[in-house]
Structure formats: C-alpha cells, structure tokens
Structure 1
Amino acid sequence: MAYRRFLLPAALFLLLVFSAAAFAADHRIEGTVTDSQTGQPLVGANIFLEGTTIGTTSDANGHYVLTGVPAGRYTLTVSYLGYRLEKRTVVVSAPTLTVNFALTPVVLPGQEVIVTATRAKFRETPVPFTNISRGELQQRYWAQDIPMLIATAPSVYAYSDAGNGIGYSYLKIRGFDQRRVNVMLNGIPLNDPEDHNVYWVDMPDFAASVQDIQIQRGAGTSIYGSSSFGGSVNIVTSELTSERGLKIVSGAGSYDTRKFTAQFNSGLVNNTYALTARYSRVLSDGYRERSNVDLWSYFLSAARYTANTTTQINIYGGQEITHAAWDGSPEDVLKVNHRDNPITYPNTID
C-alpha cells in the first residue's frame, strides 16, 4: 500500500515535466517571403534557424511555417537564388511569432564562362558521326553535288531532280530532310535563314575545294544550333598549299555531262601570304528528259600567316540555269519511259 502511495505522486510529477517540455517546444514561427520591388511572393525560398535542424521552404503564396521551435533566441535566415541573403535575430517566447521578409534582387557575381564546341572526335564525343577525308572525296568525286557525294554514309539518303546527281539535289539524314539538318561551311551555317533549306545548285563543283566532311547523325554538338535534330554536315574547305601551280581539269560522261575546272595556287609568298582561285563550269542534259543544267562557280581563298595567327578569307559563288524537273511522273508512265519529265514547256527555266 505504501508502494502505491509513492508511485502515484511520481507518475504525476513525470507527467507534469513532460507536459511542460512539450509545451515549451510548441512554438512556431511563420510569415511570408516576397520581392521587395514587386511585392510578389517568392516560391521555394529557404528559411531555417541557424544552429538547429529546423527549416522549411515557402509555398506558392510565399508563406512559410516553422513548428516545434523551443523558446529562446535564434538567427532566422532566408535565402533565395538571385536575391540578397537576409538574417534576423528573433526571440521565441510567445506561441506564435510572425516574421515577414522582403528580399532585394541582386546580380550574382561570377567568373566568366566561355562556351566552346568542336567537331565530334572518335571515342570522345557521344554522337554517331562519319568523317570523309580528302582522299576518299577525290576517289568518289567526278562532278556530282555534295549530297550525292556523301550518300553512302550511314543513315544518309540523297537524290536529285535531274536523276544524275547534278543540279537540284537534296539530302536526308535519318529521314529528316535538309531543312532539319544543319549544314556548316567552316563552322558557318550554310542553311538559308528564311526556310532553312540548302541550295546545292548554287555550289556546282564545290567538292573540288573541300578538305573533308563530317556527318553527325541525330542531335549534334552545340555549335550546330537548335534545328540539328536530324543531323549535321560540317564541310571544311581545302587547306592552302605552299606550292605554286596551275591545274586544269576537263572531263565528259553520260547524258552529255561535261566539266571544266581551272585552279591556280600562288604558293607561300614571302612566307606570309597564300592564295588559291578556282573557276568551274558543269553542263549536263540530265538523266530525265528536259532536265538540262548549265552551271558555273568560283572559289577564292586567301590567307595571311604570322607567328601566332592565321587570317583566312573564303569567297565563293555561282550561277545556274536549270530546266525544272522537280515534279514526279505517274507509275504507269515510268513503266514505259523511265526518263519522263511531266514538265514539258521548254522554257521552264530556273
């Protein structure tokens, strides 16, 4: 009986102690976090009591609540990206303490960031690509446009209106047409700025002045821009030679195809300057009827070399006279005449 009389007061004492401790910790801090200039609530601001594990973030209305805060003196800190950090000294004694913050926007200081990009490299760049060297280009090239020249690369498809690879030619990579393929010439976009197309017909015999071509399949490196989800084609023009010379090339082939090229290299002049100039003309009747072309182009490259820098300028252009052949022919007509062109008017010239 004496044991029970002792146990009851002890239990009541412990209950009062734990109740007082719980009551002492049952404080809360609440408030809002806003922009000092606009008054708009800041969502996701970090609010915490320094030296404790008590913290939270502001909600969609900028409101925050810290619960279970023992009575005492604290440093209340609020941080938000793009705003000045703010600290307040608070004394927690009442059940609820309201503390509002109006943060000031600041410009975040930081080091200079330089973004660079290069062509894809084997075993270094996570992009499927194919490099076609100058040696390979010289083996394949006769007078065809660049899309036909690279058509054997994986995932690449090319065709031409005339049917023989000269004139209006088109390129596809992984099924995307050339409007969704970024074509670069020495790292400079070649796509038309209005419709993002590439008009290869204005660049006849351009492959004669190409050093190498890289084809990237799918999303390319950042240098190629946002429209390169089909792929990218980076064309690098030929390096200037240190040897002086004149080269004249003439050839002929099927469908009355003829090509004439004259190229002059100055070599290295005074160990400082170099120049190369090319003129080309390509004519063909085309595989399809009335798909004849008469094309000419020029390419000029000049460079100045110093001990630390190389300055180079490339100028190129051309002109084309092409009979329209972009319309398809019905299947029953093609069974009789594979070369049919439904555009019959002889002066449908571009």
Structure 2
Amino acid sequence: MKNLMTLALLFVAVVSAKAQNNKLTGKVTDVDNSPLMGVNISVVGTGLGSQTDFDGAYSIQNVEAGTYTLQVSYIGFKTKELVVTIAGNVENNIDTIKLYEGNEILKEVIVNGERVNKFSRKSTAYVAKLPLKDLENTQVYNTITSDLLVSQITTKFDDALKNAVGVDKLWSSTGRGGDGSGYYSIRGFSVQPQLVNGMPGLTNGTINAANIERIEVIKGPSATLFGSSVTSYGGLINTVTKKPYKGYGGEISLTAGSYGLSVLSADFNTALDKNNDIYFRLNTAYHTEDSFQDAGFKKSFFVAPSLSYRVNNKLSFSLYAEISEAEQTNATSLFLNRAAVSASTTVEEMGYNNKLSYTSNDLSIENPTSNYRVEMDYKLSDAWQSQTILSKSNTSSKGYYSYLYEYGILDPNTFTRQISKENSKTYTTDIQQNFIGDFKLGTLRNRIVAGLDYYQATNINQGSGFAFYGNVLPNGDTNGDNPFTPDVETDAYPLTEAGVLSVLASQTANNIKSETSTYSAYVSDVLNITPALSAMASLRVDRFDNEGDITTDADDYAQTTLSPKFGVLYQPILDKLSVFANYQNGFTNVAPSLVGDPADGPQTLKTFDAEQANQLEFGLKTNLFNGRLNATVSYYDITVSDKVMTDPTSAFNKIQDGEVESKGIEIEINANPINGLNIKAGFSNNDSEITKTDNAILAGTRPIEAGAETLYNLWTNYEFQEGNLDGFGVGFGLNGASESSIINYGPGGTFDLPSYTIYNSSVFYQADKYRVGLKLNNMFNETYYKGWTTITPQQPRVLLANFTYKF
C-alpha cells in the first residue's frame, strides 16, 4: 500500500504539472434553436472532447492556448467543423453552433494523437439499459476493452477475464449440454457468461475472442433489468461484439504459440451502398490448440457477420450473428467427494501428476453454436426512442463427456471415471421492447427506460446415461474394479471410441424435452435533482412459467416475483468525482417440494417464494486529470435469504430459512499518467459465510462457489512516442489469488488449492499498417490450479507471437 501511495502521488504530480486552466464552452442547437443532447464535440488532434448535456451545453477542460479545428457530429445531422482560437487562463465561450439534418451517419472520428486511457471506457448503454456515463451510474462494473486485449495478445476468453476485478475462474468449459461453458465466481457466487450485447447468448463451449469489442462485468444482483435466468447474485458477464462503422478497413492477424496454438483471424468493414447508409462487417477466426498434458486439444471455426442499415434520420436496423463450430476434449478435472471428507487435504499430499489428462484425443465433444440478433431503433420524438430486439440462440453438445469422481469406496484417492455420449440441444428466444426517454419535468431531468421482455428456453436431451469406465489414481495408475459391484475386477478400459461405445451400448438413451418461459416488465428512471445529485429507482415484475418435461404436468409450476433496485449518486466535483450508494436485488425461482411423513399418508406438494438476494453498496468513482485517472472503490454487503432447507423440527418438512452472507471491497484503477503509458490494476477481498443451513457441518463455512478470498491483477503497457524507438513498446503484469478451499467442511476438513501469483510480459512494435508482438504468459512457470469441488491444473509457461496487418 505504501508503494501504491507513492506511485499515486508521483502520478498526481506529473499530471497536475501538465494541467491547464483553459476551458472551452458553448452550446449546440438545431435549425429551430432547440438544444441537442449527446452531440460529440472533438478538438481535432488533441484527444480532447465532450458531449452536450440536456440543454445542449458542453464544456472541455484543460485546452492549451492556440488555434484548433472543432469537429461537431451527431447522428442524423451533417457534421460541422470550425476553427477556434483559445486564449490562455480564461473561459472561452464559442457562439452557438447550429446543426442541420443530413443524410450522413455519424462519422468515425480519427484523432491524431494518443487516445486518453485506452484501458478504460467511461460510458455504456448496456449496464443501465440507458446511455449513462460511469460517473452517473450507481452500479459498479468493470470494462475490458479491445485495446487491452490487443496489448495482451489475448486469444482466450478466460485470459481476458483475468483483467476484471474480483473475478475468479472456477470451472473450465466441459462442453456438456445445458451448462457446458465455463464458470466464474463474482462477489462469492458462481456465474456463466450468458449475455451478448445485453441479450441472452448461450453456449456450451467457450466464447471466441475474435469478435470481442469489450467485456462488461456488471457487479451485484442484477435481476431488476436482466432477469434471473442469465445472471447470478454476484453479477453478470456481458460480451459486447464488434459492430459496423462508417468507413472501409480491417485487419488480418496471425497468432502462434506454445503447445500447438495457432489462431488466424480477419476483420473486414465496408459500405454496401453509394449513399453510405448500409455498412457490413465480418469477423472470422480459425483456432487450433493442443494441451500441455499427454493428450487433449481444442479447435474451432468462427464467423460473425454484422450489418447496420440507416433507413432515414429516424429509423435504423442492425443485424448480428455469431456462428461457431468447436470441438474439444474434456478439460481434466478430478471431482472430490462432495458428501465426505477427502482422503487428502492438498494437491501435494495427493501426489497428483498434473501432466496427465486421463483422456485421449479419440474422446472429444463438439459444440456447434449460433446466436442471432435483430435490432430496430426508431426515434419517436426528440425525447423518446423505441428499441425492439429479437435474439435467438442455438447450442448443441455432441460427443463424449466424462468425469473422474472420488466416491471413497475403493482405496484412498481413487477416482472413478463415469462416461456418457452427449446428444443435446438448447434453444432460446428473447424478445425485448424498450422505450427510452430523456426529458424534463419542470427543472428535473428524467432518463427513463420502460420495457417488456419475453424469454423462452427449450432443452432437448437424447444422450445416453453414464457408465463406469475404469478408475485412475492421481499418480497415473489405473484399475478396472467397479466400486458398485462386490467382486474385485481387473477388466481393461482402453481410452478409445470403440471401447467406450461397447460399454455405452447397454445404456438407455434419454428422450427428454423441457421448456421454461419468462414474461417480464420493467421500468427504471434516473432523476437528476440537480446537475450533481441524481437518484435511480427501478422495478421488475417477473412471471416464470416452468413447463419442465413436456410429457408430464407433475413438474410444472409458476411464480411471480417483484425485483426492485434503488440508487443515489452525488458528484462533489462535476464530471470528475462521484460518491454513490445502491440497493440491488436478485432472485431465483424455487420448485415446489413434496412434504409430510409418508407413514401418515400421501405427501403433499408445498410451494415456495422465490429465493432472494439483496445488496447494499456504497463507494466512489473518479475521472480526474482530464480522464487520465479512472478509479472505482466500493464496499458491498449481499444477503441471500429464503433458501429452502429441511425443517430442523421435522425431517419431512421444508422451510425457507437458509441464508448466505457475502461482503467485501473492490478497487479498480485505470490510469494514463503520461502519453503512451496505460495501467490497469485491481484488488478485491470477499468474505462469504453460510449463516443458516440444515447441515450443521457447513454452518459458518465459506461457500465453495465463492472461490479465493483475495484476488489481484495488474497490467501496464508503455509505447514510446518519439525518437528512434517510436512505436516500440513493452508490457508487464500479474494475476494472483489467495488460498482457495474447493471442499470446505470447516472443522470436519477442507481441501485447499494453494495461493499463486502469475507474471506475464510482452514486447511489441506498432506502425500505421501493422503490429508485431511477443507475449510470455506465466513467465516463471508457476504450477497452480483452479476448481469448484474439482482440481484442474492451469497452463504452464506459454510464448505467443503475433503479426497483424491493417488495411
């Protein structure tokens, strides 16, 4: 902390020395003198700029004295440029600028010079379903930008998420039906990345990094605006894809690395008509990779076409698609016994040989996935906009899935392989209608979104049941003794497709089709009481209809839930510093349960309310030194209540009295102290506890889904700006975690994964048309693991080389 404080003081001194007192102000209107809000004002060649507020006013701080070109652009209006002269140490007010409607869409603004704070994004329309600046938003979120991903030569979604504060990987993608993508822990609760551009976008595999514009990790229970199906109590992960832009261009990139890694990707953007109203963009990638273990591979082909069509000044359409064909072997995971204490308490004590995969390349699983979205935006008036979105997602699992489980029946540390043949599909449909307004009632500005949401999911499972297929020990020994038979057996179980098929021939194939539907309405209003003081209030009404297995009505149920959200925010220094507090809610629908002593007669079906999570949080956000220092510091406290548990007074009854508490702090810093130097750093500490449960052993323990208690990350990137080294750069960073209990029975016993710190570095040269880079991940070849009742070894040292050509 002392070193961090010294660095911060040095940063303040350097940037403050460069600060100017000059200010550029003015106003923008249309031809009828009506103020225009959201107009982009750019001081060409400086990286400085601003947007107009509700009254059409703008203010640009710290402009050095001199003569500049001011570029004024707004969608649906002709872009305007004018020359302005800035005097020193005064407020320079420019005459009112009038914009005229035209046929051009908003131009891509190319700034000559270094863009300030490349690793930070100051606004987004997804987190609040409103175009809010970060300083105006009472919710905490972390953004992983495309600039950061390029700097780190990122080819994997897992590696990208290492830059998000307080996100801990729990479980690698398994590819199996229903829940085959990776799991992560946020604020003590597990979550999967299931949103794309704010809409459901499911996958049973991994997300391809080639089409990522940025990743938004939205913190805290977020059911009010996003529902419960694709969120968790700790937050959600939203992937924002690359979209068409005005202009012609693109790039071709090749990345090669250790363990057979090869990624060839392309990005192409162009107009499709002479009026520049229709733009098309295509991203595609082919990815192959072997394993650092004795067997294992991944390969995928990905294509993502997108189209934007501006019909006129009021109406526009957007179409997006992501189509992927992926195949992989199961990631190695040793499942510890979830119902008993393991024979070992650490990986070292177990004697685990992490170079073994316990699989073969004959046993793979395929995950074809496609996501489609169509969006229509219509400007109803100067104050209101209509947004209609249709999203469809299809994902499948075909092939072999196996896991290794420590039943505790055979010798200690013996893991039994269970294997099945997957054949499943998941279809989702989501339709949203949003009305977005920005208007004044008296002197109070209201930014409001009111929406309707219909989400439907269908799951089809026609795969086989699980079959015994031999045992393994952590040191690599094998045997064929089935723990569920009385005899001692010595059969061989070869890791071949033919061998597996012969065993699965006796398994009955599933034929299950289930459906769920959710009907929701929500409204959220951000009210500016003064320019510096705002309050947010939101409410969702959610109707969940579970049809379950469509061949029977026994598992059908429905629930209606209200989900509120509130926040208050004050900016002591307008557009530079804000302090905030929020209350956020999440929920999970709970199925009915049979209760009553069977000896007294037939059991009855008891229904329950939805399980609830409520968060209280407060903190501060900064945007200091002309955007060069963006920081967020927050403290949160989440209580999950109404968890269904066995009644302590009756073993045949269920009550809603279970409870989990999770609280902690998070700190994120994005800094650009001098031109060419960008820094992203984060620290989190989470304290989670099961406070009420029907299992006395678990009372007072940390939930195993909470992951590591302490997490930290850092990435710094410097590019020389002038001289003989102009264009050369270096990068350095680290990721670390404290010890993590993947089995936790408190005094009864734990299994702990060790703490770790992983160091990474890079060197690169960047020119106008190309970029060459080298990246070394896990520089010191640290051995470390991830897990959630599982042990999964992580990748050792890897060298990556990248060449990108831009056109």
Q: Determine the structure 1 residue equivalent to 2:147.
A: 135
Work out whether residues 241 and 268 of structure 1, in 8 Å CA contact, stay in contact via their aligned partners in 2: no
Q: Determine the structure 2 residue equivalent to 1:6.
A: none
Determine which structure has the larger strand proportion and give its number: 2
Q: In the alignment, is residue 309 of structure 1 matched against residue 309 of structure 2?
A: no
SS of equivalent to 1:123: helix
Query: Residues 256-275 of structure 1 correspond to what in structure 2 (within 5 A)?
Result: 256-267=260-271, 269-270=273-274, 271-275=276-280
CA shift for structure 1 position 136: 2.0
CA shift for structure 1 position 223: 2.1
* 1:101-142 C-alpha deviation (Å, 9 max, x unpaired): xxxxxxxxxxxxxxx843774233332221223322322343
Work out whether residues 304 and 320 of structure 2, in 8 Å CA contact, stay in contact via their aligned partners in 1: yes
Q: Determine the structure 1 residue equivalent to 2:199.
A: 188
Work out whether residues 257 and 285 of structure 1, in 8 Å CA contact, stay in contact via their aligned partners in 2: yes
Q: Determine the structure 2 residue equivalent to 1:28.
A: none
SS of equivalent to 2:304: strand
* Amino acid in structure 2 at the alignment position of 1:308: K
CA shift for structure 1 position 159: 5.8
CA shift for structure 1 position 175: 3.0
Distance 1:159 1:268 in 2: 44
Query: Residues 216-231 of structure 1 correspond to what in structure 2 (within 5 A)?
Result: 216-220=218-222, 222-226=224-228, 227-231=231-235
- Inter-CA distance 189–161: structure 2 relative to 1 (3 Å threshold): closer
1:125 to 119, 133, 137: 137
1:286 to 288, 291, 306: 291
Distance 2:350 2:131 in 1: 43
1:254 to 254, 258, 263: 258
* 1:158-201 C-alpha deviation (Å, 9 max, x unpaired): 26649xxxx9643221232225xx6321121124xxxxxx5342
Work out whether residues 120 and 129 of structure 1, in 8 Å CA contact, stay in contact via their aligned partners in 2: no
Q: Determine the structure 2 residue equivalent to 1:15.
A: none
- Please give the root-mean-square deviation of Cα atoms over the aligned residues, in Å: 3.0
- Inter-CA distance 127–230: structure 2 relative to 1 (3 Å threshold): same
* Amino acid in structure 2 at the alignment position of 1:187: G
SS of equivalent to 2:134: coil
Greater Cα offset, 238-247 or 287-296: 238-247
Q: Structure 1: where are the runs of 5+ without partners?
A: 1-115, 192-197
Work out whether residues 127 and 220 of structure 1, in 8 Å CA contact, stay in contact via their aligned partners in 2: no
1:277 to 262, 282, 302: 282
Work out whether residues 191 and 236 of structure 2, in 8 Å CA contact, stay in contact via their aligned partners in 1: no
* Amino acid in structure 2 at the alignment position of 1:338: N
Q: In the alignment, is residue 245 of structure 1 matched against residue 256 of structure 2?
A: no
1:178 to 191, 197, 201: 191
- Inter-CA distance 269–317: structure 2 relative to 1 (3 Å threshold): same
- Inter-CA distance 340–160: structure 2 relative to 1 (3 Å threshold): farther
Distance 2:315 2:170 in 1: 41
2:166 to 155, 175, 178: 155
Work out whether residues 276 and 300 of structure 1, in 8 Å CA contact, stay in contact via their aligned partners in 2: yes
- Inter-CA distance 334–282: structure 2 relative to 1 (3 Å threshold): farther
SS of equivalent to 1:342: coil
Runs of 4 or more consecutive aligned structure 1 residues displaced over 3 Å after TM superposition:
116-121, 159-162, 167-170, 329-337
- Inter-CA distance 135–221: structure 2 relative to 1 (3 Å threshold): farther
Distance 1:303 1:151 in 2: 32
SS of equivalent to 1:239: coil
CA shift for structure 1 position 348: 1.3
* Amino acid in structure 2 at the alignment position of 1:175: G
Distance 1:298 1:218 in 2: 32
Q: In the alignment, is residue 295 of structure 1 matched against residue 338 of structure 2?
A: no
Distance 2:277 2:234 in 1: 41
TM-score (norm 2): 0.25
* 1:76-124 C-alpha deviation (Å, 9 max, x unpaired): xxxxxxxxxxxxxxxxxxxxxxxxxxxxxxxxxxxxxxxx843774233
Distance 2:305 2:319 in 1: 8
Work out whether residues 279 and 309 of structure 2, in 8 Å CA contact, stay in contact via their aligned partners in 1: yes
Work out whether residues 271 and 277 of structure 2, in 8 Å CA contact, stay in contact via their aligned partners in 1: no
Work out whether residues 155 and 217 of structure 1, in 8 Å CA contact, stay in contact via their aligned partners in 2: no
Work out whether residues 259 and 280 of structure 1, in 8 Å CA contact, stay in contact via their aligned partners in 2: yes
Query: Residues 61-76 of structure 1 correspond to what in structure 2 (within 5 A)?
Result: none
CA shift for structure 1 position 284: 0.6
SS of equivalent to 2:150: helix
Aligned length: 219
SS of equivalent to 1:229: coil
Q: Determine the structure 2 residue equivalent to 1:339.
A: 355
Distance 1:315 1:291 in 2: 29
* 1:284-331 C-alpha deviation (Å, 9 max, x unpaired): 112333221111111000110132232110011111111122422893
Distance 2:147 2:249 in 1: 20
- Inter-CA distance 161–339: structure 2 relative to 1 (3 Å threshold): farther
Distance 1:269 1:133 in 2: 30
Determine which structure has the larger helix proportion and give its number: 1
Work out whether residues 258 and 284 of structure 1, in 8 Å CA contact, stay in contact via their aligned partners in 2: yes
Work out whether residues 189 and 232 of structure 2, in 8 Å CA contact, stay in contact via their aligned partners in 1: no
SS of equivalent to 1:266: strand
SS of equivalent to 2:252: strand
Distance 1:311 1:250 in 2: 32
Distance 1:119 1:217 in 2: 18
Distance 1:348 1:119 in 2: 47
Q: In the alignment, is residue 215 of structure 1 matched against residue 217 of structure 2?
A: yes
Distance 1:333 1:346 in 2: 29
- Inter-CA distance 260–324: structure 2 relative to 1 (3 Å threshold): same
CA shift for structure 1 position 257: 0.5
- Inter-CA distance 243–334: structure 2 relative to 1 (3 Å threshold): farther
Work out whether residues 117 and 221 of structure 1, in 8 Å CA contact, stay in contact via their aligned partners in 2: no
* Amino acid in structure 2 at the alignment position of 1:224: F
CA shift for structure 1 position 153: 1.4
SS of equivalent to 2:148: helix
Q: Determine the structure 2 residue equivalent to 1:323.
A: 329
- Inter-CA distance 267–210: structure 2 relative to 1 (3 Å threshold): farther
CA shift for structure 1 position 221: 6.4
SS of equivalent to 1:223: helix
Work out whether residues 332 and 358 of structure 2, in 8 Å CA contact, stay in contact via their aligned partners in 1: no
Greater Cα offset, 230-239 or 120-129: 120-129
* Amino acid in structure 2 at the alignment position of 1:128: V
- Inter-CA distance 178–287: structure 2 relative to 1 (3 Å threshold): farther
SS of equivalent to 2:299: strand
Distance 2:356 2:132 in 1: 42
Greater Cα offset, 307-316 or 259-268: 259-268
Larger CA Rg, structure 1 vs 2: 1
Distance 2:171 2:278 in 1: 39
- Inter-CA distance 307–158: structure 2 relative to 1 (3 Å threshold): same
- Inter-CA distance 212–130: structure 2 relative to 1 (3 Å threshold): same
Identical-pair percentage: 19
- Inter-CA distance 200–217: structure 2 relative to 1 (3 Å threshold): farther
* Amino acid in structure 1 at the alignment position of 2:218: Q
- Inter-CA distance 265–159: structure 2 relative to 1 (3 Å threshold): farther
CA shift for structure 1 position 148: 2.7
